[in-house]
Amino acid sequence: MNESIVVALDLTDQDITLIAYAKQIQVFYQIDTVHFVHNIKTSEIDEIIADMMEDVQIRPMILRSLEKKIEAIFTEKDSYKLTLLEGDNTEFGINEWVKQLKKSCTVVLGWKTPENGTGAMAQKFIRMFQGDILLIPKNAIFKLDAILVPTDLSSNFSKVKRKIDNLITPLVNTRVQVIKTYNIPSLFFQFIDDKETKQKAEHLILSQYASLQKKLNIPTHWQIKAVYQQGKSVADIIIRENNNLATDIIVLSAKGANTIAAIFLGSTTNELISRDPFQTIYIVK
């Protein structure tokens, strides 16, 4: 885990899940201080409730509300810091604030669909932020018994491997399942032996992984699985494998082999975070 954890709160019920998850991370990795941050969108206050509230101060009310939630779980005052920001653009404000910490940070976000009001903000932030992001669905708990690692076996896999080493160093017997999907364009079905081609594709994937295993010193207990897409998207396969293997967290690179500018996400990562929340996801940048 990175040296600093920043948790973005939004005054919804999911704040409790995020705070509890952050506490579990803090204890497990012995992190001194967890940073909580919330952005007060001043434009919404002006347009919606300023006239109704008259002289009532919004900032102290929000501060007390968040402190009450945090103090119920973080009983030691010096174990966390709470910062309130004010601005029209939440993702930009949090991104600039995190830069000022000048530390390697993992930002923890509640994973919600856009229909629930904050999914769009999280997606924008993920595209903007240059550090790691941890997406937490509602009611998730911190657990690292089994990790799913979707990959295209590109150079970015080395970053994911280092991150997993960092995450599970204190643990023993963590099950790590690496999956690499492949597809055979239907255009070629009439010219090739489907079964033989799949066997060759799987052999190639296993050979590529074996080379990386030596190069990156990947533990022998990590498992590799080549998965034929059979018309399904990579995101569909990840969700299916996550359910079949009962993994606790998915760790993947923000981008695959594509060399598009860093502000964009890989198509698979983008599709995953656009789905209904189904698992904790750690996005490595």
User: Is 284 inside a domain boundary?
Assistant: no
Residues 155 and 257 in one domain: yes
- Among 114, 136, 158, which residue terminates a domain? 136
How far from the centroid of its chain's Cα atoms is residue 20's Cα? 17
What's the pLDDT at 54?
Answer: 56
Residues 166 and 224 in one domain: yes
The residue ranking higher by pLDDT, 261 or 19, is 19
Average pLDDT over residues 80-93: 90
User: Is 283 inside a domain boundary?
Assistant: no
Which two three-digit tokens encode residue 250?
A: 């998915």
Q: Is the pLDDT confidence value at 259 over 50? A: no
- The owner of tokens 């903000």 is 121
User: Is 281 inside a domain boundary?
Assistant: no
Distance CA 35, CA 23 (A): 11
Residues 154 and 236 in one domain: yes
Domain count, the chain: 2
Distance CA 69, CA 15 (A): 8
- The owner of tokens 């040296």 is 3
Q: Is the pLDDT confidence value at 113 over 60? A: yes
CATH code of residue 8: 3.40.50.620
What's the pLDDT at 264?
Answer: 41
Q: Is the pLDDT confidence value at 227 over 60? A: yes
Show the domain range for 111: 4-136
Residues 234 and 118 in one domain: no
User: Is 282 inside a domain boundary?
Assistant: no
Residues 64 and 161 in one domain: no
Residues 157 and 271 in one domain: yes
pLDDT tens, position by position, 122-142: 778 888 888 899 999 989 999
Question: Which pTM value belongs to this model?
Answer: 0.86
pLDDT tens, position by position, 29-63: 999 999 999 998 766 555 555 555 555 577 888 89
218-241 core/surface letters (b: 16 or more CB in 10 A; e: else): beeebebbbbbeeeeebbbbbbeb
- Among 88, 109, 136, which residue terminates a domain? 136
- Among 136, 157, 183, which residue terminates a domain? 136
8 Å CB contact between 271 and 238: no
Residues 78 and 151 in one domain: no
